[in-house]
Amino acid sequence: MDDRYVAKRVIYLLGMSAATILFTTAAAFIRGQYLDEWIVLVIINLVFLALWFFLLEHCRMKRSIAGNRETSYRRIFAGYLASLGVTAVCLVLPEFSRPVMLSAILMLGVGNIELSLCSGLFFCSLLGLLCGGTIQEFSMYILLVLIGAVAADAVENSKKQFWYEWFAGMAGMLLPVLFYYLTYREISVRIMVSAVADGVVVFLFLHLCYRKLADARNAEVDEVMVDITDESYPLARELASFSRADYSHARRVMLVAARCAAVVGADERVCSAAGMYYRIGVLEGAPLAKNGVKMAQRACFPEKVIRIIGEYNGEEALPSTIESAIVHMVDGLLKKLEVLDEDTVGSNWNQDMVIYQTLNEYSAAGLYDRSGLSMNMFLKIREYLVNEEALLV
């Protein structure tokens, strides 16, 4: 499946670019920096953004952002703005008192550890360029970002999450005091108090909020599939406006395919979403499979759904998954039943014959040989459709 530039992703990328440059401009103005200094900062921003875009696309292509190659970057955008907000707060706080760990933890909660470290280190660099400070302070912030990202990753992937939360909190309390002493050879009560506050904030955020962020990130694909099967979804409304018959057919395929998936233990949500948009290519015309894929990619549908749409009716490729085979057979069967007149399918016997004949033809033609659909699964689905004929009329 070819990758395409998608407007949604481009918009969020431009949003992150604008937010970064606006933040830098506002901070430079408030800090009283000269025009040439601002120009240099903007150029540095652009260099970082080029790296950031490359890293985002690299992570997306290898499915390391929520396991979703077709992510829209909406969650990344929200986390990036929140991290910029943390950096803005850091600008007004005294030296050695800035909770930089939070920005790294936030970005890990919406992305992955690569994005967390990249953005966290860049925001530390911005703080250093905008606020000045000593090499000791800058070194401390780099170390805190590393600790925050690694600890948050361990919290998500370890059963002993309390100890990693405790470690991050203690590091946030201890390191500012140590690095302040290295810089000024004295102990500051103010630094000790602010360090304790920072450590407590980091511990509480990891303990109370981080897992919710990570769970929401990991559920991104499921959330998208729920959204796109809602009647109010823009593409669903567009299909309904284009043809009530096509829309009604799509809703029926969605419902029946999901029930068939449940019978054989396949993914009901994938079958539901793919069934709804299996023939979405009609909005742009033939070839339906290719145009359907283009529309689904523009809407940032999950990759599994896009792949099934690309296998519509076997035009470009035969079904390659169990879910694709289910959607294919349900769509084809419903189309046959819909074109037959009421007299033909007026009796249960006639309808049963149509179901047996249609599905047997599909199986005999070898349409599902590469899908992983076993004969036992096929027979279960066929019997279910025969016994639940009310679903098909």
Instruction: Return the structure tokens found at 100.
Output: 């930089």
CA max distance for the chain:
95
Amino acid occupying residue 81: L
Beta carbons of 332 and 315 less than 8 angstroms apart:
no
Instruction: Specify the 3-state DSSP secondary structure of 373.
Output: coil
Count, residues in the chain: 393
Instruction: Specify the 3-state DSSP secondary structure of 296.
Output: helix
Q: How far apart are the first and last CA of the chain?
A: 35
Q: How far apart are CA 48 and CA 9, in angstroms?
A: 18
SS (H, E, C) 217-271: HHCHHHHHHHHHCCCCCHHHHHHHHHCHHHHHHHHHHHHHHHHHHHHHCCCHHHH
Phi, psi of 112 (to 5 degrees): -150, 180
Give the tens place of pLDDT for each residue, 3-41. 777 899 999 999 999 999 999 999 999 989 999 999 999
**Residue 341 or 151, more confident:** 151
CATH of domain 222-392: 1.10.3210
- 57: closest CA among 115, 137, 138, 109? 115
**What is this structure's pTM?**
0.90
- The predicted structure's pLDDT at residue 344: 57
In this prediction, residues 266-279 reach a mean pLDDT of 96
Checking if the pLDDT of 143 tops 60, the result is yes
Give the tens place of pLDDT for each residue, 246-264. 999 999 999 999 999 999 9
Give the tens place of pLDDT for each residue, 191-231. 999 999 999 999 999 999 999 999 999 999 999 999 999 99
Instruction: Return the structure tokens found at 228.
Output: 């796109």
- The predicted structure's pLDDT at residue 341: 56
Beta carbons of 32 and 338 less than 8 angstroms apart:
no
Q: How far apart are CA 376 and CA 258, in angstroms?
A: 18
User: What are the angstrom distances between the C-alpha of 301 and each of 221, 223, 225, 276, 277?
Assistant: 8, 11, 8, 12, 10
Beta carbons of 65 and 111 less than 8 angstroms apart:
yes
Q: How far apart are CA 296 and CA 242, in angstroms?
A: 17
User: What are the angstrom distances between the C-alpha of 12 and each of 74, 77, 83, 227, 341?
Assistant: 7, 6, 15, 19, 50
Q: How far apart are CA 217 and CA 85, in angstroms?
A: 20
**Spans of all domains in the chain:** 7-218, 222-392
- Residue 342: pLDDT band (50, 70, 90) is low
Burial of 20 (0-12, 13-18, 19+ CB in 10 A): buried
